[in-house]
Chains A and B, each alone.
Chain A
Amino acid sequence: GAGVSQSPRYKVAKRGQDVALRCDPISGHVSLFWYQQALGQGPEFLTYFQNEAQLDKSGLPSDRFFAERPEGSVSTLKIQRTQQEDSAVYLCASSPPGTEYGEQFFGPGTRLTVL
């Protein structure tokens, strides 16, 4: 079966550009998470959706970051006016309903480089 997919896999943006990163979760997975992994660090939580509802966006680093999941499946993470410190790998993960201890299925990530 298909796993979590993310696109693009690599993105190079000039400082100040807007970017949109896409996540296709596993079909039927209710929960969806976005993480940011800077070089040399672990993934850091950005935001969490249950179906189309964004239940937690406490990890979004600034108001330039915006995530949506309008139909409860595909999600898009948008970064406006990118800055060099936004350079990172952006990971998406999904979980099926009834996951008691939070096992997550990850996509391969999008590596964003802001020049």
Chain B
Amino acid sequence: ILNVEQSPQSLHVQEGDSTNFTCSFPSSNFYALHWYRWETAKSPEALFVMTLNGDEKKKGRISATLNTKEGYSYLYIKGSQPEDSATYLCASGMLVFGAGTILRVKS
């Protein structure tokens, strides 16, 4: 994998559903993996920075895991709420971003 890739491109879920999406990145020369949440008309907000293989981070209902050997990270949202609706971006190192996953939570 030469680029940072995110899937799915978009996701629509019902309030209360749990969901997850994927970030794939080059596993060679890994440095750090960042997750950001970007709500419409606001600034992207840092969620997690992950550096070690097997890292698991959690913030409220949102958690993330990291596998640096195979080059992927998962972001999980438990019990989605409408306020979780946003674009979720991942970035490898500081400078290479994926295209994002757009999450829409319907009430």
Chain A interfacial positions (CB closer than 8 Å to B): 3-4, 33, 35, 40-45, 48, 91, 95, 101-109
Contact between B97 and A44, CB atoms less than 8 A apart = yes
**B41, B46, B96, B100: the one within 8 Å of A108 (CB):** B41
Bound Cα distance from A105 to B43, whole angstroms? 8
A43 cross-chain contacts in B, Cβ below 8 A: 89, 97
Contact between A42 and B95, CB atoms less than 8 A apart = no
Size band of the interface chain B makes with A: 20 to 34
8 A Cβ contacts from B79-99 to A: 89, 91, 93-99
Contact between A101 and B89, CB atoms less than 8 A apart = no
Chief secondary structure at chain A's binding surface: loop
**B94, B96, B100: the one within 8 Å of A104 (CB):** B94
Chain B residue with minimal CB distance to A31? B94
A102 cross-chain contacts in B, Cβ below 8 A: 31-32, 34, 49, 93-94
Bound Cα distance from A33 to B41, whole angstroms? 19
Contact between B98 and A101, CB atoms less than 8 A apart = no
A108 cross-chain contacts in B, Cβ below 8 A: 41-43
Contact between A42 and B100, CB atoms less than 8 A apart = yes
B43 cross-chain contacts in A, Cβ below 8 A: 3-4, 105-109
